[in-house]
Structures are given as structure tokens and as C-alpha cells.
């Protein structure tokens, strides 16, 4: 890549780590063979946590003022690294260009505000696949990381052969402008004339030490960016002392001033890289401010390619925006990368599937287990349609950590409950639960049992009502009312009006289907006006 004239940046040579510490956000892309290597999703998550923590430990030990933060993780059904003839450079090209299973990577990177994208693959086999990792080498050679290089912040690392996290640290190091050691650097530019790995040939080193190739240094060492082995978990810097772990290993400076000093180069460009994308991780919640009234929080406007101040959340023309909106509307949260990738891909391949997508969110275990129960409590306690503001309040309380039992107890102690029912004894409360939820009076055995549970303190009134409102019998009985209510709340951001509620509940009872309600709302002016002028 060629750059126009640039001003040389003076990168100060400092012995101590500069301040402030800079956070660089990373989207991790993992493949099925990476997951399988670690025994499944839980093991893969543990491995990723370890890799990022270890890379950050390398930075801290090297006085590099960079912390990698994994802001999202996306699975991609890419071929196994052991595929015959596979080359990581092919994977890097597909990842960078967004082809095949990586079609949504760029959009998801932007959505989550990831400055870098790091792909992690499984181990290689003896199938002629000699490359273990590859990345774009960025920088202009003058101490700068141009904005153009944001397009090349991609790397591929195979999870094999090398100890700790030196391989991904090496590949992400290329993205940050560090070359290999000089004999292995080729013609790449890098960020500065001294952004090179360092090595020292010690006793017992073969004649090839100091030449191109993966060379042994005997009692010497190579830094993270060097091809010379054994590797010490440090980036090159004349201010550090490195020493291998082999018998008789020599201690020596980890770099040479103005020659091999990755630490100085990385500290120089760290803030430029961190500014490639705006991350909302620290600043944005799912119900955050929306000053332009397009149902997209202000802090997500830039990452979603929208303009804050304009009502331009075009969920009808952009599959990613539509998919992300369903998470906000029905799950009261922002999407995870895998879910966003899945639903965006489904909608991109089948534009007419919006109604089925909404239906899927309503039927999801997350919605049915965390959002719908609050609506059922309204019907069980007050025999009425939930008001929108109240419902959103209690959903927010539940999402913030309040248990459903605590929400239910709050209903039992509310002014509305007292106004509607007055002061009830425990037997009277049990009778109310049976009447409201089951539509009948309690039998003698049931009344005696639940009264004794309340009297003994084994449960409180909130727990009793919740047990009944979440029973299979009541969930089936109130299913249509819950469905209509939550489709109104999710899609139109309001409670159903009595006429609409009665119509759609009756429509469903008469043999209508849920998608009829959803498709009608999708085509309505009221729904469209939530997002566009």
C-alpha cells in the first residue's frame, strides 16, 4: 500500500510505560475447530479469556501501555485449519474482504466498535499447512498509523504449537506496525524504522542463527516479533532485559535503541488505533438516551452508520439494524455478536422473513423466561392489561438484578393492590390467587397447604403468586393475552388499546395466527414512524 506525504511523528524513547493506559477493542472470530479443540463453547470461552489476559500480561511486562479488550465474539463456519492445502493467508483475505462465512464481520465490527478483528483457528495437521498465523503489517514508516489502516486491522492465529499467547500477540503485533526480526522482515514498512523484533545468538547456536528462517539461538532468545527461538514473552526494547529459560541462558537487553524497539513504536501509535472505532461498551445501555427518537440509542448511532440527530434507523432496508432492534424491543438488551450475525444473515438471504424473526424472538427461551413473566404478573394480580411505563419499569428492574419473586412481592405490596383488594389475611390471599389465576375457589387441601406455607414463612406472597402465574396451566390460559400485549409493547412501544386487545385476542381464538398480527404491525405507519420520518 502506498501513502502520500506524511509528517514524521516523534515517538519519545522512554524507559517507563507512558500514561494513560490505552484500551484497544477487539472482535474475536472463532471457528468450529477452535471450539472443538477446547471441548465446546465453555472451553473456547475460557481459552479466549486466557489468551487475552496473557497478551495483556505481555504488554504490562514490556511496558506497552495497551490493553486489549474483547468486546464481542463471533462464530464463523470456516473450514478446519487442518484442511489439506489450506493457507492462513486465504483465511485472512476472506476475513478482511467479508466473503463466505465472514460476510457480516465488517458490519458487526462496526456495530460493536472493534478497532481490530482477530480470528482464532484450531490446530494444523501434517497436511502441508506450514503457516501458523498471518496478519496485515500496518503503519507508514514515519511513526504514524494512518486512518486507512483501520481497513487492515485483521489477523489469523492458529491455536497450536506455541506456548502461552505468543502467537496471537505476534499477529496482533503486526497489525500494530511491528515487523519480524530484521533477517526475516522482508520489505514490509511497519510504523517506524525501529519497529522490529530482536534476538541474541548465544552459546550453542547453529551457524544459521542470525539468518532468515526459524532459527535456534542456543542460550540466546528472540522477542515476541522475532522468528528466532526460544521466544521470551516480551516485545523488543533496549530498556528491558530478556533471558530465556534454557540452561545457561544469557541475559541481555531486549532491543537496541533506534534499531529494535517495538515497545516505543507501539506506545507511539496506540491512541491512533484505539480511535479507529467508537466503542459503546462502557457508555451505552439498551435503554440509553435516544435524542432523535428513532429507537436507536445515541451511543450506537455512529457504529450503526447512522447520524445522531436524524431519524434514520432504517430497519426496513438494513438487515443488521432490523435484527439489532428485535433484541432491544423483545429482550431489552443489545445483541451478542453470534446472534446478530445469525439473524442478519437470515434476513439478508430471505428479506421476507421479518415476521418469522419477530415470532422467533417472542418464542425464545430468554423472552419467555425473563420478559413475559412480568406481563403475566400484571394479569394475575390486577386482571388488566399492563400499562407500558409500568411494564418497562419492572422489566428494567428484573434485568438489573431484582428477582421475579421480588417483583411479585412488590406487586403484592403496591398501592394498586391495596386499593383494589384491601387488607387480606393469608387465607384470603390464597383464595385470591386461585380466583385470579385458576378461575376457581381453592379446594380445602390446597387452601390449608398454601396457608401453612405463608404462616410458617416458608414462602412469601410474592413467591406464591409467582408459582401460580408461571404454572403451565396459567401460561396456557393467558397465552393469547400475553402474546398480544407483548407484541404491542415490543413493536409499537405501547400497551394495547382495549379495542385492539379484544380484537386480536379474539382473532387468535378464532383460528388466526400470530404472524397476522406481526405482519400487520410491520406494515403499519405507527411502526414505521418509530424509526423513520
Q: What does each of the 533 residues of the chain score in pLDDT, given as a tens digit?
A: 343 444 455 677 766 778 889 999 999 999 998 999 899 999 999 999 999 999 999 999 999 999 999 999 999 999 876 666 667 888 999 999 999 999 999 999 999 999 999 999 987 754 555 558 899 999 999 899 999 999 999 999 988 656 689 999 999 999 999 999 999 998 888 999 999 999 999 999 999 999 988 888 999 999 999 999 899 999 999 999 999 888 999 999 999 999 999 999 999 999 999 999 987 776 675 557 899 999 999 888 877 889 989 999 999 999 999 999 999 999 998 999 999 999 999 999 888 899 999 999 999 999 999 899 999 999 999 999 999 999 999 999 998 899 999 999 999 999 999 999 999 999 999 999 999 999 999 999 999 999 999 999 999 999 999 999 999 999 999 999 999 999 999 999 999 999 999 999 987 654 444 568 999 999 999 999 999 99
Domains of the chain, earliest start first: 22-192+263-272 (3.40.390.10)
Which grid cell is 463? 413467591
Which grid cell is 153? 486491522
3-state secondary structure of 70: strand
Which grid cell is 225? 516479533
Geometric angle at alpha carbon 350, from 347 and 353, rounded to 5° = 70
Cβ atoms of residues 175 and 158 within 8 Å:
no
Contacts of 392 (CB under 8 A, 6+ apart): 287, 489
Bridge partners, 216 (sequence order): 229
- Calpha distance 356→524 (Å, rounded): 17
Angle of helix 388-399 versus helix 372-382 axis, rounded to 10: 130
- The region, left, alpha or beta by phi > 0 then psi within -120 to 50, assigned to residue 304 is alpha
- Calpha distance 425→450 (Å, rounded): 12
Bridge partners, 22 (sequence order): 66
Geometric angle at alpha carbon 216, from 210 and 220, rounded to 5° = 80
Which grid cell is 160? 497450536
- Calpha distance 231→242 (Å, rounded): 10
- Calpha distance 500→52 (Å, rounded): 52
Amino acid at each position: 500500500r502506498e501513502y502520500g506525504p506524511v509528517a514524521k511523528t516523534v515517538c519519545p524513547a522512554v524507559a517507563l510505560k507512558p500514561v494513560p493506559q490505552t484500551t484497544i477493542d477487539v472482535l474475536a472470530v472463532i471457528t468450529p475447530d477452535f471450539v472443538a479443540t477446547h471441548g465446546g463453547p465453555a472451553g473456547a470461552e475460557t481459552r479466549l479469556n486466557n489468551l487475552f489476559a496473557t497478551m495483556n500480561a505481555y504488554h504490562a511486562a514490556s511496558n506497552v501501555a495497551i490493553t486489549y479488550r474483547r468486546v464481542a465474539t463471533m462464530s464463523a463456519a470456516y473450514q478446519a485449519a487442518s484442511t489439506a492445502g489450506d493457507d492462513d493467508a486465504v483465511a485472512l483475505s476472506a476475513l478482511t474482504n467479508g466473503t463466505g462465512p465472514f460476510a457480516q464481520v465488517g458490519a458487526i465490527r462496526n456495530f460493536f466498535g472493534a478497532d481490530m478483528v482477530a480470528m482464532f483457528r484450531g490446530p494444523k495437521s501434517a497436511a502441508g499447512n506450514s503457516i501458523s498465523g498471518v496478519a496485515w503489517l500496518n503503519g507508514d514508516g514515519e511513526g504514524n498509523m494512518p486512518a486507512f489502516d483501520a481497513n487492515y486491522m485483521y489477523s489469523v492465529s492458529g491455536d497450536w504449537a506455541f506456548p502461552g499467547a505468543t502467537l496471537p500477540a505476534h499477529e496482533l503485533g503486526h497489525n500494530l506496525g511491528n515487523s519480524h526480526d530484521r533477517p526475516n522482515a522482508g520489505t514490509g514498512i511497519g510504523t517506524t524504522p525501529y519497529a522490529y523484533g530482536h534476538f541474541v545468538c548465544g552459546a550453542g547456536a547453529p551457524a544459521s542463527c542470525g539468518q532468515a528462517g526459524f532459527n535456534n539461538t542456543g542460550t540466546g532468545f528472540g522477542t515476541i516479533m522475532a522468528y528466532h527461538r526460544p521466544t521470551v514473552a516480551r516485545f523488543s526494547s533496549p530498556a528491558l532485559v530478556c533471558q530465556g529459560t534454557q540452561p545457561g541462558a544469557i541475559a541481555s537487553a531486549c532491543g537496541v535503541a533506534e534499531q529494535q524497539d517495538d515497545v516505543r513504536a507501539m506506545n507511539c501509535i496506540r491512541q491512533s488505533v484505539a480511535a479507529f472505532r467508537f466503542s459503546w461498551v462502557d457508555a451505552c445501555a439498551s435503554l440509553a438516551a435516544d435524542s432523535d427518537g428513532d429507537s436507536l440509542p445515541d451511543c450506537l448511532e455512529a457504529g450503526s452508520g447512522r447520524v445522531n440527530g436524524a431519524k434514520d434507523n432504517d430497519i426496513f432496508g438494513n438487515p443488521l439494524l432490523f435484527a439489532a432492534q428485535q433484541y432491544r424491543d423483545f429482550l431489552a438488551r443489545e445483541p451478542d455478536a453470534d446472534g446478530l450475525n445469525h439473524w442478519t444473515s437470515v434476513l439478508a438471504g430471505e428479506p421476507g422473513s421479518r415476521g418469522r424473526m419477530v415470532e422467533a424472538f417472542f418464542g425464545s427461551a430468554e423472552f419467555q423466561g425473563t420478559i413475559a413473566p412480568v406481563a403475566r404478573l400484571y394479569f394475575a394480580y390486577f386482571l388488566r392489561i399492563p400499562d407500558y411505563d409500568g411494564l418497562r419499569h419492572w422489566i428494567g428492574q428484573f434485568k438489573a438484578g431484582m428477582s421475579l419473586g421480588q417483583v411479585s412481592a412488590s406487586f403484592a405490596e403496591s398501592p394498586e393492590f391495596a386499593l383494589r383488594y384491601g387488607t387480606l389475611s393469608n387465607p384470603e390471599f390464597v383464595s385470591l390467587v386461585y380466583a385470579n389465576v385458576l378461575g376457581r375457589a381453592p379446594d380445602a387441601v390446597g387452601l390449608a397447604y398454601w396457608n401453612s406455607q405463608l404462616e410458617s414463612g416458608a414462602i412469601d406472597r410474592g413467591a406464591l403468586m409467582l408459582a401460580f402465574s408461571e404454572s403451565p396451566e396459567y401460561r396456557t390460559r393467558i397465552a393469547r393475552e400475553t402474546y398480544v400485549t407483548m407484541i404491542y409493547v415490543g413493536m409499537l412501544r405501547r400497551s394495547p388499546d382495549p379495542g385492539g386487545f379484544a380484537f386480536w385476542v379474539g382473532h387468535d381464538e378464532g383460528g388466526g395466527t400470530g404472524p397476522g398480527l406481526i405482519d400487520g404491525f410491520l406494515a403499519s405507519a405507527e411502526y414505521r414512524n418509530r424509526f423513520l420520518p
